[in-house]
Amino acid sequence: MSPTPITAIRGVAGLGLTVAALTLVACGTGPGGQRALEAAPLAADLDELVAAAVELDPDVPGVALTVLTSELDWSGAAGVADPASDEPLEPVTPLRIASNTKTLTAAAVFRLQELGALDVDDPIAAHLPPALVERLPGGKEITVRQLLRHESGLYDFATDPAYLRLVAADPGRRWTPLEQVELALELGEPYGRPGATVHYSDTGYVLASLIIERASGQPLPAALRDLLGFERLGLASTWLESLEPAPAGVPARAHQYLGDVDTYGFDPSFDLYGAGGLVSTTGDLARFWRALFAGEVFESDRTLEDMLAPAPGSGVASGLVRTSLGGHVAWTHDGFWGTGAMHVPDLGVTIVMSLGQHEGADEAAAHVLAGLARALALPS
């Protein structure tokens, strides 16, 4: 992972494919582009799009997709949720969204700021145990905001090959947040002083989850649910895996792959505490993103503006990444298992996709994103 600016958000092809999609959207939008986006594409065309993506790429078990515009609320899926049983992947099939969890974690921190429980520019020392802060390089200087914008300089345990080997060697291991923070301290040196560099780090978000618990006085699942208003927003198929029960009546979770390895049975704690861990659907995640930008998550529009303020010299904001292409501001974030979300405010479009695969799914992703660009952004 590169230092400032961030060049990839962990996903099948990282930020690269998201940017490619946005380039297509921008290039396809002219004087009639806004009107074209508001014209609902035929659902059959989108069904064919996801089905063709699965056929193109044998490494992809299934594709789930949600597209929301001012006139369209569409979710579809193709392929299988469980290759062993041929259980079909459905739009309502829940899946691990991995690092797309970060957007909700960051939003919960800003809700705590609205409630007066913290200030995002507080030093983390005001909200974490002194012994833990002492262990962190530059710990007394790091602010809460720097955790959320990947400016803390703390080493990222999650992308270190040694951590991935540990997980693969013992997929049933139950990790704790403090074990992961300690591993970060053991595996690598800081990327720089707090505030001096931007470097993607799950370590910062694990610490943010501990801050949420201490500031809210609630366990992380209840804090996310209450602070963000899951019930009010209609997030009926979203939960923090293994830390709270799955909602009644939801289907079995989809199988997701690391190359040829079915990770369904991996204990979720390897990616659970603030940096990842939510199970959701593409529809639920798209609804959250749309609600966030519609002013339905925060009490004040100024809070969203604060959350979207990027780190100096980068497009990295708190739990989202800003890209400007073709005159359109777009916000994105990807996740480890080929999940990706984007929202383009002035075009009024929200897209969430899942491929169920961490490795080798570039062709399927490119096909879906190019097809969406044609369907949604060509001028009329």
**Residue 18 — pLDDT band, cuts 50, 70, 90?**
low
CA distance 165 to 290: 37
Chain centroid to CA 33: 27
CA distance 274 to 104: 8
pLDDT digits (tens, 9 = 90+) for 116-174: 999 999 999 999 999 999 999 999 999 999 999 999 999 999 999 999 999 999 999 99
Q: Kindly report the backbone phi and psi dihedral angles of residue 341, in degrees, each rounded to the nearest multiple of 5, phi listed first.
A: -130, 145
> Residue 324's pLDDT is what?
72
pLDDT > 90? residue 322: yes
Cis-peptide into 5, omega within 30 deg: yes
Could you tell me which residues come within 8 angstroms of residue 70 by beta carbon, excluding any fewer than 6 positions away? 37, 38, 348
3-state secondary structure the chain: CCCCCCCCCCCCCHHHHHHHHHHHHHHHCCCCHHHHHHCCCCHHHHHHHHHHHHHHCCCCCEEEEEEECCCCEEEEEEEEEECCCCEECCCCCCEECHHHHHHHHHHHHHHHHHCCCCCCCCEHHHCCCHHHHHHCCCCCCCEHHHHHCCCCCCCCHHHCHHHHHHHHHCCCCCCCHHHHHHHHHHHCCCCCCCCCCCCCCHHHHHHHHHHHHHHHCCCHHHHHHHHHCHHHHCCCCCEEECCECCCCCCCCCCCCEECCEECCCCCHHHHCCCCCCEEECHHHHHHHHHHHHCCCCCCCHHHHHHHCCCCCCCCECCCCEEEEECCEEEEEEEECCCEEEEEEHHHCEEEEEECCECCCCHHHHHHHHHHHHHHHHCCC
> Residue 377's pLDDT is what?
54
> Residue 360's pLDDT is what?
81
User: What are the tokens at 189?
Assistant: 């040196």
Contact 368, 60 (CB under 8 A): no
Could you tell me which residues come within 8 angstroms of residue 41 by beta carbon, excluding any fewer than 6 positions away? 67, 72, 74, 375, 376
CA distance 85 to 65: 22
> Residue 326's pLDDT is what?
61
What is the share, in percent, of the chain residues with pLDDT greater than 70? 87
pLDDT > 50? residue 15: no
Q: What structural domains and CATH numbers belong to the chain?
A: 14-377 (3.40.710.10)
Contact 379, 39 (CB under 8 A): no
pLDDT > 50? residue 4: no
**Bigger pLDDT: 170 vs 1:** 170
> Residue 29's pLDDT is what?
41
> Residue 327's pLDDT is what?
76
**Residue 366 — pLDDT band, cuts 50, 70, 90?**
confident
Residue type, 356: G
**Bigger pLDDT: 80 vs 367:** 80
Residue type, 343: H
Parallel/antiparallel/unpaired status of strands 87-88 and 73-82? antiparallel
Q: Which is it for the CA torsion 360, 364, 368, 371, positive or negative?
A: positive
